[in-house]
Structure 1
Amino acid sequence: MPYSDAMDHWPEDDLVDRYLDISQWLALSFRRKHGNNLPPLFDEEDQKVMERIVQQERDRKLRPRIEAAMELHRLFSTTVDRYGQEQNRYGAVAFETADISIQRGRTEYTPEIEYWLTFRNPEDYGVYSFFVHDDGRISRSYYQSNADFTHKVYLTARG
């Protein structure tokens, strides 16, 4: 869990060492109390909270990755549209680097324009979509996805 306030008072290495000391002490105390008859580490409510926090943290990290990748894609697309060969103009080229791959999504029955992003190291999949309203406003959406982009989940946290 992020504890950004704690970082104001202690060097990061000291915080890591203290956390490890506390974790080891708790594990040893738990083991001494329960022996080999270990109860579940988390009850259902704790498990739900942990899963929610982990998902929020993943979302918080994925959104800036999507935004940075799409900015590179916009720069690339603008250059190709202005100076590229005719057959490669206007969104016909996928974008790929050693770290990311971006391709135009093929979702039917939606007015949104969608891009599918594959990140390497760490491996992750995201979807960026946008919709231009009649008055010129643009709505943007960010999703986490699976490898074949058949299932997407709206990102719950901002970067």
Structure 2
Amino acid sequence: MRLAIFFILLSVSHSALACEDQEPCKLNAMEMFLPEVQRYPASNIRIEKFIYQTKLGDVSNKVSTDKLIKLKEELNNITIKSFKESKTSFEVLAQFKLTPSSDSEFKLQTTGGEQEDEMLTYFYDAASKLTEYKSIKDDVFVFLHYKISSSVTK
């Protein structure tokens, strides 16, 4: 599963890098910059990547960054409720598909297993209810990659 997360993030990063030398640049993938302090919704939860992309064209005119930030904040609240008491370490890749005309769709990939099942089920159920987010134009995919560490103090 870690390999699947790596390849998804690599392909998204490659799309953004392929555009560096083009003038004018039309990025079909963008990574949202987060200062270090914003990468930690909780002391044991770190946002590794916050990426949004579209299949064709410039993604920057297809979705509101204010809406993306609101989506991240809502998902962070769910992440905190779900994982702040985790006794294990694992990763979560949350994917939202935003469209202009229908509810957003949520998918989850994780390196967690049976030990994390109850936390992941709560997270999935709550994140699946974030359906009000839409793109301005075309389909936009939003990825949030979280690393969850054990909250147990040694």
| TM-score normalised to structure 1 length | 0.25
Bigger helix fraction: 1
TM-score, L = length of structure 2? 0.26
